[in-house]
Amino acid sequence: MTQFANYINGEWLQGAGINKNVNPSDLSDIIGEYAQADAAQADIAIAAAHAAFPAWSVGNIQARSDALDKIGSEILARKEELGRLLSREEGKTLAEGIGEAGRAGNIFKFFAAEVLRIQGQKLASVRPGMDIEITREPVGVVGIIAPWNFPMAIPAWKIAPALAYGNTVVFKPAELVPGSAWAIADIISRSGIPAGVFNLVMGRGSVVGQRFIDDRRVSALTFTGSVSTGGRVAQGCVARMAKFQLEMGGKNPLVVLNDADLNVAVTAAVQGAFFSTGQRCTASSRIIVEKDIYPRFIEAARNQLAGLKIGHALTADTNIGPVVDQSQLDQNLSYVEIGKQEGANLVFGGERVKRDTDGFYMTPALFADCNNDMRISREEIFGPVASVIPADNYEHALQLANDTEFGLSSGICTTSLKYATHFKRNAQAGMVMVNTATAGVDYHVPFGGRKASSFGPREQGAYAAEFYTTVKTAYTSA
């Protein structure tokens, strides 16, 4: 069995332990054994990034751009191979895995160009003979803690801007998906980036992640994961006044009005709620439907779900792959029982199913006749479980959509320009979708939410500069 090491200060180092990477589509398939760092190895990585920062932060920007472009080009050239690895270890379909790998490559290419257009300002002073320059500078060592559900795209949209703006990186991927992280690190190791600038430290969050939080040499920490863990990250960073960025949960609404195109609305709901096995923070897990179209919507959604194939992620005709692991499967099925106990009507799925290979398979669960006070309508499940909630009219639907502690993504299906325009302005979310799924975003524009979903500057696109740089104002007397 192949063993994969951590990448620290330009070297591949074995860890203090081993993590076996299991395919959720086939539990007999062990992808590899991946190093597990302890606190001491995490300290070595932080020290390496800290030592590499002075030279990298003021180095040649063309060399920095060339390295990021080389990384992006290799990812794109190998996207089918990398996408297969991603799907094999995370469980999303092969088409989704290849698409995500391609997105990761494009992110690195985007930030390769951003390196060459880091902007500042030159302003006139209110004092005669005084010159003012406003510039952006890197913050220092950036700690990156990434989740398992997008094991290439999310690391890419954190690593690429961190490096582009002159920071050094210590990166801890989720334990469930070390293969994708290792593959990215392997590509970065051959890009020409100096030793210590990028470091891969695979290991437990309570060990490696905690070192990132506690160590004063880590100037900034970007985290994507659960609300509870995000809260602990925030507390630790505030205690030592480190910069931090959080992307956490979602309970995203999709509003369907009476005038909506039914096929468009059902497709948006099914794709948004259930594709990628519902394991997306942007998934539309609350579907709010006006009463006149409600019965037809439920019937059409059931029919579309019945036509989907749940199976091995690498099988060509699979629409929905397995859940990522046993713990997540147990959580999903427990919420199905909670929904039944709360009085919701399970109109489709919600069952553990067997396939030719032993994996974590379940049918997508669609609940009807829900209300916004049910736990299945308020708590993030992070699986293929969705609640359909009736609404009296547009105003009621908007109120229901905004009645949540989260505010990541929000959607509406309507043919009315009036309602679409009003919803875009009044939906309390960081991203709004009209006549399309709440999940699915471009890589060159801001990503993030409000309320309990996000904290700090947006990720992705040119807005990433807000987190990965600090602003300096310089005065010169003539």
Active site residues: 247, 281
Own/partner pairs, 353-356, CB within 8 angstroms, 24+ separation = 353/310, 355/310, 355/311, 355/312, 356/312
Residues contacting residue 112 through CB under 8 Å, at least 6 positions apart: 65, 66, 67, 68, 69, 72, 164
CB 105 within 8 A of CB 217: no
Alpha-carbon span 377 to 341, nearest angstrom: 13
Q: 319 with 93: CB under 8 angstroms?
A: yes
From residue 351, give the alpha-carbon distance in Å to each of 19, 224, 247, 333, 384.
30, 29, 30, 7, 11
461: CB partners within 8 A, 6+ apart: 110, 443, 444, 445, 446, 447
Beta carbons of 201 and 115 less than 8 angstroms apart: no
Distances (CA, A) of 318 to 20, 310, 364: 26, 6, 13
Q: Which residues are within 8 A (CB) of 289 and not within 5 positions of it... i.e. 6 or more apart?
A: 255, 256, 297, 298, 388, 389, 390, 391
- Coil, strand or helix at 465: helix
Contact indicator for 446, 466 with CB cutoff of 8 Å: no
Whether 439 and 410 have beta carbons less than 8 Å apart is answered as: no
CA separation for the pair 434, 383 (Å, rounded): 23
Taking Cα atoms as reference points, which of 74, 86, 105 lies closest to residue 25? 86
Taking the chain, what is the end-to-end CA distance rounded to the nearest angstrom? 67
Per DSSP, the three-state class of 308 is coil
Instruction: Provide the sign of the torsion angle of the four alpha carbons 323, 326, 328, 332, taken in this order.
Output: positive
Q: Where are the alpha helices (DSSP H) in 316-360?
A: 326-341
Angstrom distance (rounded) from CA 144 to CA 390: 41
CB 99 within 8 A of CB 151: no
- Residue 171, beta-bridge partner list: 144, 200
| Bridge partners, residue 71, by sequence | none
